[in-house]
Amino acid sequence: MNTDVQRITLNLPASADYVDIVRLNLYGIASKIGFSYEEIEDMKVAVSEACNNSVLYAYGQDGGMVDVFFEVTQDYLSITVRDEGESFESNGRSEGSETLHDKELSDVQIGGLGFYLMEALMDEVSIKNQAGKGTEVVLTKRLSRSEEPV
């Protein structure tokens, strides 16, 4: 059984113009390792949310860079989106067990739905904020093989 981990790294300007590059790379990588069209579309939405949060919140108007790491194994695909700008916390997201079930839709901060969307579309979502050091979002999707290769 092959347990090698392959890593692909992108370093892009924190601009909405470059989110499509991440989505295209995700599509190529995920289709190559066997994810279904629906799974890939879910991952594209989730990674777009993570990238958009970096673009919208991390650097303000100053610009900056976003690092995107794809970690590929035969069992899963993990996508890390990392920036060195302001953390999401300083933009209204607090740590804790807050859920949408406790709020009216009108009370959810704009952009706040993205975190719930990522969690709904991916198998695992991890968000690390460090004051002055940026934010890292890790999105993981496990490959479910319905048929074993012959």
User: pLDDT-derived band of residue 112, with 50, 70 and 90 as boundaries?
Assistant: low
Q: Which amino acid is at 64?
A: G
The pLDDT tens digits for 130-149 are 777 789 999 999 998 665 55
Q: pLDDT at residue 17 above 50?
A: yes
Residue 147 lies in a domain: no
Residue 115 lies in a domain: yes
- pLDDT, residue 122, reads 97
- pLDDT, residue 129, reads 85
The pLDDT tens digits for 22-74 are 999 999 999 999 999 999 999 999 999 999 888 887 777 677 899 999 999 99
The pLDDT tens digits for 80-103 are 999 988 765 434 444 433 334 444
Residue 96 lies in a domain: yes
Residue 90 lies in a domain: yes
Residue 100 lies in a domain: yes
Residue 79 CB contacts under 8 Å (≥ 6 apart), including other chains: 26, 43, 47, 50, 68, 69, 70, 71, 138, 139, 140
In sequence order, what DSSP letters do the residues of 84-98 get, joined into one string?
Answer: SS--GGGGT--SSS-
Q: Are 69 and 79 in contact (CB under 8 A)?
A: yes
DSSP state of 101: G
Residue range of the domain that includes 47:
6-142
The CATH number for 59's domain is 3.30.565.10
Give how many domains the chain has, as a whole number. 1
